[in-house]
Chains A and B, each alone.
Chain A
Amino acid sequence: MADRDAARPGAGQDAAEATVTFTLDGREVTARKGEMLIAAAERAGTFIPRFCYHPRMSSVGVCRMCLVEVSGPRGATLQPSCFIEATEGAVVDTLSDKVKKAQDGVLEFLLVNHPLDCPVCDKGGECPLQDQTLAYGPGESRFVEEKRHFEKPIPVSELVLLDRERCIQCSRCTRFASEVAGEAQIDFIGRGEEIEVNTFPDLPFSSYFSGNTVQICPVGALTAAPYRFAARPWDLDQVESTCTTCAVGCRVAVQSSANRVTRLLGIDSDPVNHGWLCDKGRFAFEAVNDGDRVTEPMVRIDGELTPVTWHEALERVADGLRSAAADGPEGIGFIGGARLTNEGAYAWTKLAKGVLGTDSVDAQLGDGLPAAAVLGLPRATIDQAATAATVVLLAGDLREELPVLYLRLRSRVVGGDLSLVELSPQATASTPFASVSLRYRPGDAAGLARAMVDDTASLPAGTDPAALAEARRLTGSGPVVVVIGRPSLAEDGRLVAEAARILAEARPDCRFLPALRRGNVLGALDMGMAPGVLPGRVDLDDARAWFAREWDTVPERAGRDTVGMLRSAAGPAAGGSGDPDPTVRVRALVLLGADPTGDLPDARLAGEGLDGAEFVVQVASSTAALSTRADVVLPAAEAHERPGTTTNIEGRVTRLGQKLVPPGQAWPDWMIAAELASHLDADLGLDSLHGVWDEVERLAPAYRGITRSVLEAAGGDGVVAPLATSGVGISRRSVPGPLDPIAFPGVESVERQGAPPRAGFAESPTAVTTAAVATGGEGGAADASGREDGGTEGDGPPARPPLLGVPADLGAPRVPPTDSYTSRLVASRRLYDRGAAVAASPALAALVPEPPVRVNPHDLDDLGVAPGGDVLVRTATASLVAPAVADPSLPRKVVAADFNLPLAGGSIADLIDATAPVTELRLETP
């Protein structure tokens, strides 16, 4: 491993620079050394037909569709261009008669056993086999014998069906499963004419990434259950967008027909998803089409939510908020915001902080990290993490929380290019390929981080010294990126953030990738949706003067976070939990898409907070997520129903496409905020989506220079904020080339971005010039150009506030010492949980697991409970009985369970105490 680290930098550079020149159809062409002929030809504008070759996977040369004639010492021979490298001086002919005959022959051969049931095949119309047969194939088959027959189709998983008759054995799906996903649950079974793709008997293809095989299958052999017979490709309309199901921000093509989303396909964004999607992102669109949508504003009258007009509803909200602010603006709190677009988030922040004057705004639901840490730590891009020497994982299970980030890192690690150091209380999907896995008890994260950078620090109990030494060695040199998230929801986020802060202090060159999972949570934080910050990653106090110039008001002092708001609303009576700042109690809560009773790790606190609040407004899109406590419900547009921008974990800003008209009277969020402001007799000054963005660009320091034209020119890959300091300019799409329709069949055009303007929302786009990109790309230049920001320059305008830096103090709570009877709880996330997106997507809802509680085998032994037997888990305030299994990866006295999943015996959220640094519990026999 040491050799590999030492070898990396030089090797990479040499390979990037070395080129070879060869002759392609009579032209001189330059290729990168080691590049396959098929790729070099493609970059030179020559498309060679192919089936098995995929730019994101290894070449296998099995379909022979890509044969070209290469002249060598033995004369011209036919060779598979996907399997031979371009060599200096080679003479390659892709159009000779011999090549044409070979293509013709290969296609005739592939069609020998192909059922030719195109009229009833989902792939018909976008099928590489169909298209390439038309372009390169025989007009007629000489095969008159009986074709082979299989039962059609068979399910290989709940989501994917396989028609073996249509399969051409290209091995794209099996390569994807083993190489990319690392879950080879499908393989070729049998040999010769009996060969078929299949699973092991009764062991389904249960990968979270199974949908990708459907997308890359070059025929209609693999189909996805939600799309089967739903549409014909030529009836689909497409817009390019970004998946906001989690915060990775994979690029997608949203395809629809008749104002319903029909499917999502991955688009190859080189810096982000390489074309892959996870099944949750791919199939959760069913929730948007779902009938259970909030379509009209509603007000609770006599205990019943009753439809009213927007005007009535907003009046009611304005009254409620006014009276809640009687003692001071801190009487109002805003919870949620991760499902908003950046524009929506900015508008709500401006309403809360700039009109109402309360700083109690929090897009995170007690399951995130302190905003000061997320925004202040030097940020890494996904590419920087993938190309670092070592990645430190101090986060939940990435496969469960940020699936495609897991894929990106995994491929580098198993390829031997990256070392993984995992700091986690339990085994995760990354454990098998991590170089070191350091187990820790909840509460010890910061202590472990300290031990990693300081040999004299005392080791947290139970730390394996050899593993620690190896972790130190791996993080001691070379670029290190720390992926920082929440390994457990039952451990205060500040404890984990403190660990990151320690690493940042000791290793100033360390970069951080926040593993926060909710849709646009990073965009919401960037837009100021957290206490103590203002839009553009700036501190409230630093930026007060800057924003005071343009906003009606700016909060006097830092507000409460979600837990603080709920504690305050619950009042001193509830649970005895005192408010850190009792002067002004939170009386009104505005829930921006969030129902804290489902999302907050601490269910009791959420319930008490909502019950204690005098007035609750919920901006929601799905009736399933409605709070029973909401006094007013405002219908909001969902993903795919609103244009705008989003920001992913890297800080990458990309544009969202709108494909649907929102149902009923649902409005885009920024508009709701703007209208509400006018009912509060204020003017948000935001009257178009573009207007919002222009203000963000002008006022939010981290977004300086990211103008609409820069975004437009950047295309699908977007740009990373902030432009000036990130060192990441506008990247150019390198793979696949615009010529490869076979890599991701079905994606109409990867370059097309056409959110159709909706009347009243969008202006016609301004002209894009490359100059705008150049200016934006350099970032600093935009500042230096002296562009005017406001009208007050003559009076000595306040200086643009500095971006947040590494926080000096996060106020991490002290973890009480533990006794030998007490265990600590680990609450982790699963991809398919009871969240609204999964619940409203029938294809996914069926996949929600019901995992048991997990206990260290010795602890289970000590209890005298056999694996699978029931245990009683008791905290100071609650208890539940649930089946437990032994998990040897857990440290002693650690109990693990999954959050927001069905659990025989109750819900783990009943046990978590969000106001304690860690959740302590006793394990007993029931």
Chain B
Amino acid sequence: MSGPPSPSPGPAPRRAGAPPAPSHLSAETVERARELIALYPEARSALIPLCHLAQEQDGWLRPEAMADIAALVGVTPAEVYGTASFYDMLHTEPVGTHLVSVCTNIACLLGGAAELLEHAETSLGVNVGGTTVDGAITLEEAECLADCDRAPCVQVNHRYVGAQTPESFDRLVADLRTGARADEIPRHGTLVRVRRSVGLRAGRDRVVAERAAMAAAQAARAEEAAAAAAGRKEGSA
């Protein structure tokens, strides 16, 4: 493992204070991160979506980005690292522009996945998990990708590219390298689903309004409860 560069050399600062301003994430990413954080009652709930945002910016989760995320959601960098390293789709070590996943689960195995993977290793000149020297392709072995009827199943940057033979695989790799399929397969990290499903389409105003309504309702309930408690106390006195 090539040790990720140090985000802040030397021991952690002892003195508490305002968290350091994000220094690695771009202004645009930070802006979107803040919008995401606003969606949750607890800032740290936005941790995983923020990891995706950072991965979109850099193609993988750099330590500097994790340190920024930690400051944004109010946890330690170690906690961000711990969470991110749990998930296969968050990469805490560098990956190529294209992450090629070959499924070797049962249906694909029967459909020739082992042979395909062996071919991929030879033709790319890397082992599973490795990245080609030009940084274009990272080869990954995957469990069932839920596309078993088109075995052996391959995904590039989590987009299905259909069943592959050794020959079609080589064409696919060539196309990825030339950018011929850049329209349908953007570079690794690019978000589609995460962006859509986290509700940013709802608009900031609506989110703010809904949160205010929620807070009001909570306060009202708390007040009711307090009043009831006071009533009980008087009753018993």
Q: Give A contacts to B, CB under 8 Å.
A: 3, 6-7, 178, 183-191, 198-204, 206, 399-400, 427-429, 431-432, 830, 847, 849, 851, 887-889
Q: Is the CB of A202 within 8 A of B16?
A: no
Given contacts A6-B226, A184-B75, A888-B17, contact A190 B85 (CB under 8 A): yes
A108–chain B nearest beta-carbon distance, Å: 26
> In whole angstroms, what is the CA distance A449 to B12 when docked?
34
Q: Which residues of A contact B11 (CB under 8 A)?
A: 204, 206, 847, 849
Q: Which residues of B contact A3 (CB under 8 A)?
A: 222, 225-226
A881–chain B nearest beta-carbon distance, Å: 22
Q: Is the CB of B12 within 8 A of A185?
A: yes
Q: Is the CB of A202 within 8 A of B7?
A: yes
Q: Which residues of A contact B229 (CB under 8 A)?
A: 6-7
Q: Is the CB of B226 within 8 A of A191?
A: no
> In whole angstroms, what is the CA distance A428 to B17 when docked?
8
> In whole angstroms, what is the CA distance A178 to B3 when docked?
25
Q: Which residues of A contact B76 (CB under 8 A)?
A: 183-185, 187, 200
Q: Give B contacts to A, CB under 8 Å.
A: 3-4, 6-9, 11-12, 14-18, 63, 66-67, 75-82, 85-86, 222, 225-226, 229
Q: Is the CB of A184 within 8 A of B14?
A: no
Q: Is the CB of A200 within 8 A of B81?
A: yes
Q: Which residues of A contact B77 (CB under 8 A)?
A: 200, 203
Q: Is the CB of B78 within 8 A of A187?
A: yes
Given contacts A186-B78, A887-B17, contact A202 B6 (CB under 8 A): yes
Q: Is the CB of A187 within 8 A of B79?
A: yes
Q: Which residues of A contact B18 (CB under 8 A)?
A: 888-889
List 15 A-B pairs, Cβ < 8 Å: A187-B78, A189-B81, A189-B82, A199-B78, A200-B67, A200-B81, A201-B4, A202-B7, A202-B9, A203-B78, A429-B15, A429-B16, A849-B11, A888-B18, A889-B17
Q: Is the CB of B12 within 8 A of A206?
A: yes
The main secondary structure of chain B at its interface with chain A is loop
- Scoring B9, B78, B79, B82 by chain A CB atoms within 10 A of each residue's CB, the highest score goes to B78
Q: Which residues of A contact B3 (CB under 8 A)?
A: 201-202
CB nearest neighbor in B for A185: B78
A279–chain B nearest beta-carbon distance, Å: 12
Q: Which residues of B contact A188 (CB under 8 A)?
A: 82, 86
Q: Which residues of B contact A206 (CB under 8 A)?
A: 11-12, 14
> In whole angstroms, what is the CA distance A335 to B217 when docked?
63
A142–chain B nearest beta-carbon distance, Å: 27
The residue from B4, B9, B16 contacting A431, defined by CB atoms under 8 A apart: B16
Given contacts A191-B86, A432-B16, A888-B18, contact A201 B63 (CB under 8 A): yes
Q: Which residues of B contact A200 (CB under 8 A)?
A: 7, 63, 66-67, 76-78, 80-81
A855–chain B nearest beta-carbon distance, Å: 13
Q: Is the CB of B17 within 8 A of A427?
A: yes
Q: Which residues of B contact A889 (CB under 8 A)?
A: 17-18
- Scoring B75, B82, B85 by chain A CB atoms within 10 A of each residue's CB, the highest score goes to B82
B83–chain A nearest beta-carbon distance, Å: 8
Q: Is the CB of A427 within 8 A of B15?
A: yes
Q: Is the CB of B8 within 8 A of A203?
A: yes
CB nearest neighbor in B for A429: B16
> In whole angstroms, what is the CA distance A206 to B222 when docked?
40
Q: Is the CB of B75 within 8 A of A190?
A: no
Q: Which residues of A contact B63 (CB under 8 A)?
A: 200-202
Q: Is the CB of A189 within 8 A of B7?
A: no
The main secondary structure of chain A at its interface with chain B is loop
CB nearest neighbor in B for A397: B15
CB nearest neighbor in B for A184: B76
Q: Is the CB of A189 within 8 A of B85?
A: yes
> In whole angstroms, what is the CA distance A184 to B47 when docked?
15
> In whole angstroms, what is the CA distance A198 to B76 when docked?
13
Q: Which residues of A contact B4 (CB under 8 A)?
A: 201
Q: Is the CB of B14 within 8 A of A190?
A: no
The residue from A184, A202, A428 contacting B79, defined by CB atoms under 8 A apart: A184
CB nearest neighbor in B for A192: B86
B214–chain A nearest beta-carbon distance, Å: 17
Q: Which residues of B contact A202 (CB under 8 A)?
A: 3, 6-9, 63
> In whole angstroms, what is the CA distance A887 to B13 when docked?
13
Q: Which residues of B contact A429 (CB under 8 A)?
A: 14-16
Q: Which residues of B contact A185 (CB under 8 A)?
A: 12, 76, 78
> In whole angstroms, what is the CA distance A188 to B12 when docked?
19
Given contacts A3-B226, A191-B86, A201-B4, contact A178 B16 (CB under 8 A): no
Q: Which residues of B contact A198 (CB under 8 A)?
A: 78, 81
A201–chain B nearest beta-carbon distance, Å: 5
> In whole angstroms, what is the CA distance A435 to B140 when docked?
49
> In whole angstroms, what is the CA distance A830 to B38 when docked?
37
CB nearest neighbor in A for B84: A189
A134–chain B nearest beta-carbon distance, Å: 33
Other 7 A-B pairs with CB < 8 A, given A199-B78, A202-B63, A431-B17: A187-B76, A191-B86, A198-B81, A200-B76, A206-B11, A399-B14, A887-B17
Q: Which residues of B contact A887 (CB under 8 A)?
A: 17
Q: Which residues of B contact A191 (CB under 8 A)?
A: 85-86
Q: Which residues of A contact B8 (CB under 8 A)?
A: 202-203
CB nearest neighbor in A for B225: A3
B115–chain A nearest beta-carbon distance, Å: 27
Q: Is the CB of A187 within 8 A of B81?
A: yes
Q: Which residues of A contact B67 (CB under 8 A)?
A: 200
Q: Which residues of A contact B75 (CB under 8 A)?
A: 184
Q: Which residues of A contact B81 (CB under 8 A)?
A: 187, 189, 198, 200-201
> In whole angstroms, what is the CA distance A198 to B78 when docked?
8
In the complex, the 7 A-B pairs of residues with the closest C-beta atoms, listed nearest first: A187-B82, A202-B6, A200-B77, A206-B11, A200-B78, A187-B78, A184-B76
> In whole angstroms, what is the CA distance A204 to B17 when docked?
19
> In whole angstroms, what is the CA distance A202 to B7 when docked?
8
> In whole angstroms, what is the CA distance A428 to B14 when docked?
9
Q: Which residues of B contact A888 (CB under 8 A)?
A: 17-18
CB nearest neighbor in B for A830: B14
B181–chain A nearest beta-carbon distance, Å: 32
CB nearest neighbor in B for A174: B82
A50–chain B nearest beta-carbon distance, Å: 24
Q: Which residues of B contact A204 (CB under 8 A)?
A: 11-12
